Amino acid sequence: MLRSIRRSLGRKLLVAVGLPSLAFTLALVLWLRHRTRFAAPDLEPVYGIAVLAVLLFGALMWVTFALAMRWVIEQPLQRLAAGLRHVREGDYLYRLPVEGPDELGMVAETFNTTLAALTDLHARRIEDERERVLTAQLEARVKELTLLFDLARRLGGTLELDRLVATLTELVGRGLGDHAFALLLAEEGTGDLVVRSVSGLPESANGVRIRAGEGPAGWAVRERATVLVKDTGADPRRPVLAWQGEAQGSILAVPMIHREDCAGVLAFFRPATDAFPPDEVRLLESVAGQAALAIENARLHQKMVRLSQSDALTGVHNRRSLFARLDMERERCERFDHTMALALVDVDRFKQFNEAFGHAAGDGILRRVAELLAGAVRKVDLVARYGGEEFAVIFPRADRGAALLAAEKLRQAVEAAALPHEASERGHVTISVGVAVWPDDARDLGALIDAADAALYAAKRAGRDAVRAHEAGMRVHPGRRRDVRTTADAEADA
């Protein structure tokens, strides 16, 4: 009873107003009875009835007052409390009924007005949050499209593989921020992956070799699909990359596939687990697709360049490439006051070999000699087929002594191979080499080739299987004219 009174404002008002009023009326009646008791004893029964009537009237008034309080005050207040509970629970569309122009009606109307303002604020907050999310998504999408556009523009502008790898590393590193990643290219022939470039990883990782099926990158190549390792500590495909060590985190390996050919893998690493959301995985797959196309184009370009510069029979450089390199080396010699040497190489008794064994066997000998010559020179040197059974070798920044030593190395390489040749004086294939040096023996390319040819003729006259350097007074082979071309002429011939 007391608890229900404490929890109800109407009952509190009823108790506060009704009980004192009833007590006051009862006390007044009792006082009047006491005053008149001795003056009019015959009225005492009447006073008893009056007291009873006052008590009944007070009770009736109290009940009437209670009902009025409940209807006029308690119920509106309860509705207001219910409205506040609705607001607390997030129901901003709830409204109180306004039942009159009195104070409680004004409270209800004010409550509804305030709630309407809160509803508008809440709606604006929801709309602002939606706009913020959409803006963030749009910014992320713009960033993705910008990265893909930059990739397409920059990667499409180069056909050199090394520059392409550097550009791809720069753009991916700048576009993806905190990623640590490695670019691995598939090696032609073996199919092994070789780390060609890194970002956010030790430079010592460059050159690391991974076989197909090893670690996430190897799995990506073997399965031709993206491999996501959410936790390297819990995934059985633990990385076997030396540059990663035992680091914990997540790894994404995306194969660069173009038409079923895998050009390599983009491998990304983050120290947090499950750090690659689906949207980012799709973006990196798009990046890998563009990179695969660019890499395949660069490799195709390299192959076409090699074919345009290579002799179809022997695989070494052709005449066009020879003259272009001679032009370039001559310019370097004139600019930096360097020397260079040119060696002309002739396979001895090759005509007799062709007559004895046929042209197919002769072609095999030329291919083998070209292979031996290419294996006996430095990386900066150039071996080219000059024509027929003759080859030319350029030795940049070589003086006479160095050129003779290099030429002798060529002769010894062929001699050591001991390729059978019954028509030769030695019983095996040999070569004769003539050497001329720029600018000691000539000041233009035509004269340089003539000087090397004169030295070759001297080696032939000395019994073949010999090396001779050009000397004053040497003469070119009688009736033979060297066809010296500029680079433009050589390109026209090709």
Torsion of CA 43, 47, 50, 54, to 10 degrees: 160
Sign of CA dihedral 427, 479, 436, 377: negative
Condensed to tens digits (0 to 9), the pLDDT of residues 342-386 reads 999 999 999 999 888 889 999 999 999 999 999 999 999 999 999
What average pLDDT does this structure show over 241-256? 70
Instruction: Establish if 408 belongs to a structural domain.
Output: yes
Q: Which of 277, 299, 321 is the last residue of a domain?
A: 299
Angle, alpha carbons 69-75-81 (nearest 5°): 130
Say how far apart CA 445 and CA 392 lie, in whole Å: 13
Pairing type for strands 382-387 and 390-396 reads antiparallel
Banded model confidence at residue 487, pLDDT cuts 50, 70, 90: very low
Condensed to tens digits (0 to 9), the pLDDT of residues 294-323 reads 888 888 887 887 777 889 899 999 999 999
pLDDT the model gives residue 4? 54
Most confident of 163-167, 241-245, 443-447: 443-447
Say how far apart CA 455 and CA 469 lie, in whole Å: 6
Q: What average pLDDT does the chain have?
A: 80
- 378 and 344 share a domain? yes
Say how far apart CA 86 and CA 14 lie, in whole Å: 29
Distances from the Cα of 268 to the Cαs of 184, 229, 230, 431, 465, in angstroms? 11, 10, 12, 54, 58
Instruction: Establish if 331 belongs to a structural domain.
Output: yes
Q: Which amino acid is at 246?
A: E
pLDDT the model gives residue 334? 92
Instruction: Establish if 123 belongs to a structural domain.
Output: no
Condensed to tens digits (0 to 9), the pLDDT of residues 194-218 reads 888 888 888 878 888 888 778 888 8
Say how far apart CA 67 and CA 79 lie, in whole Å: 17
Banded model confidence at residue 33, pLDDT cuts 50, 70, 90: low
Say how many domains are in the chain.
Answer: 3
Most confident of 19-28, 114-123, 141-150, 370-379: 370-379
Q: Which of 299, 323, 345 is the last residue of a domain?
A: 299
Angle, alpha carbons 73-79-84 (nearest 5°): 125
- 316 and 270 share a domain? no
Is the bond preceding 239 in cis, omega lying within 30 degrees of 0? Answer: no
- 290 and 360 share a domain? no
- 295 and 197 share a domain? yes
The model's pTM is 0.54
Residue 194's domain spans which residues?
Answer: 161-299
Q: Which of 242, 265, 299 is the last residue of a domain?
A: 299
State percent of the chain over pLDDT 90: 28
- 188 and 293 share a domain? yes
Instruction: Establish if 167 belongs to a structural domain.
Output: yes
Condensed to tens digits (0 to 9), the pLDDT of residues 102-120 reads 666 777 777 778 778 878 8
- 69 and 165 share a domain? no
How many CB atoms sit inside 10 A of residue 388's CB? 11
What average pLDDT does this structure show over 232-256? 68
Say how far apart CA 427 and CA 189 lie, in whole Å: 37
3-class DSSP assignment, residue 104: helix
Q: Does 174 or 393 have the greater pLDDT score?
A: 393
pLDDT the model gives residue 165? 85
- 391 and 331 share a domain? yes
Instruction: Establish if 156 belongs to a structural domain.
Output: no
pLDDT the model gives residue 330? 93
Instruction: Establish if 70 belongs to a structural domain.
Output: yes
- 353 and 457 share a domain? yes
Does residue 30 have a pLDDT over 90? no
- 335 and 359 share a domain? yes
